[in-house]
Structure 1
Amino acid sequence: MSKVIADPAAAVADVGEGASLAVGGFGLAGVPTVLIRALLASGVGGLHVVSNNCGTNGRGLGELLAAGRIARVTGSYVGENKEFARQYLAGLVEVELIPQGTLAERLRAGGCGIPAFYTPAGVGTAVADGGLPWRYHPDGGVAVASPPKEVREFDGVPYVLERGIVPDFALVRAAKGDIHGNLVFSRSARNFNPLAAMAGRVTIAEVEELAELDPDEVHLPGVFVQRVVPLTPAQAADKGIEKLTTTAGDA
């Protein structure tokens, strides 16, 4: 059965107010910009986003953030998104910052049906002990702080308990995909897209090229993907550069 939905707006039409969604991408590589813009156009808000970072100013998730559509972010990197930092410090958005490897494993665990796992990352810090500011008051005080987590020893080594993440939806971008939802990712875009796709209860993938795939090249099987949105050549070519560095020509 084909999972192809040609219209991005139709693909995200059931993403409701306050929905949770995992969003793939690493920096600006592999960011599902077309689906994000479809969400922006839908007017939905109060979103709880799980992503490595929250885009840049005016790009990727930064577009939803600037429009005030995101209520909470679970991620590992604020980066150089000044609007993200401003909203966080002003108490406009709640932010749960966690180690990058822990974020990856929480998504993978959610996708594999693992409710929680133990990791040494964060033991002896506020990650485990609690007290990290999730939300600030406008006056600068802490409105919501992270709770302490369970710590348990295995073979004399302490580990902190982390929960798997299972969001309502996942939005990802793939270099290639087929009508069954099997996906192939390109280079660093493979860092978080497969994990986000695994975790979502409903996963929507925008693909730069819709094609038949050799089973040996598939990075993510279609069992994790419910909807496939083929991109136009112009949409596929529209890729942002976070930091453009050029070299001056010879004088």
Structure 2
Amino acid sequence: MPRRLFLLSLCLAAAARVAAADLSATIAAVKPSVVGVGTFQRTRSPGTVFTGTGWVVGDGLSVITNAHVVPEKLDAEQKEALGVVVAGAGTAFSFRPATLAGLDREHDLAHLRLSGEPLPALRLGDSDTLREGRDLAFTGFPLGMVLGLHHVTHRAMLSAITPVIIPSYSARQLDARAVAQLQRAPFEILQLDGTAYPGNSGSPVYDPADGTVYGVINMVFVKGLKEAAISHPSGITYAIPARHVRALLQRASTQ
């Protein structure tokens, strides 16, 4: 091997090791800010039901998740409560009640508010600065509480920035929700090459180097719009850009 190529290969290997070390440190810093979202009912077995992933932002009492993760109705008679599930180790976790502070159904985002002691918060980045090819990562609970509430992290590259829905070749491929979204003017979403699962809905998509959040994983709402005409799921992962999270938080601050 020519000396120049040999030196280049050494540099690339060293860079890869540094990147891996950075991500390891970032994951450790991000995990305390990533929570489960669900409901608790004392008379139910199990008492806690997991519905998706959320993450802490702002003053440590705000949690962002997908709107479809938040139950539309709670069983008031049985005192069912909305809240977040703070992971411990394996099957150890605690439930903290929360209130719904804001809902953005168009972008499938929800803002929950906790009471009590704040949790570590993640920094919200400017998603408008993202470019295709950017390395990202996301952390959440792809299996929910089935095997214990374990944080799972995936690497992902930003494969494309695309409209949330594209006009179909046939009207038969459009459902009522897709038609409504077309009438509202489609917004752009982040298309990732990492593999996410339904429990990842609401997971933060962040910079592997410093944990800055640039998007929110969405595994149900967006797929129903983007892939409505596909008979078999593509396996592509989508995320809502962080600009819509910022707008949701700003609405709450002005109320």
- Whether the TM-score (by the shorter chain) exceeds 0.5 is no
Q: Which has the higher strand share?
A: 2
TM-score by length of 2: 0.26
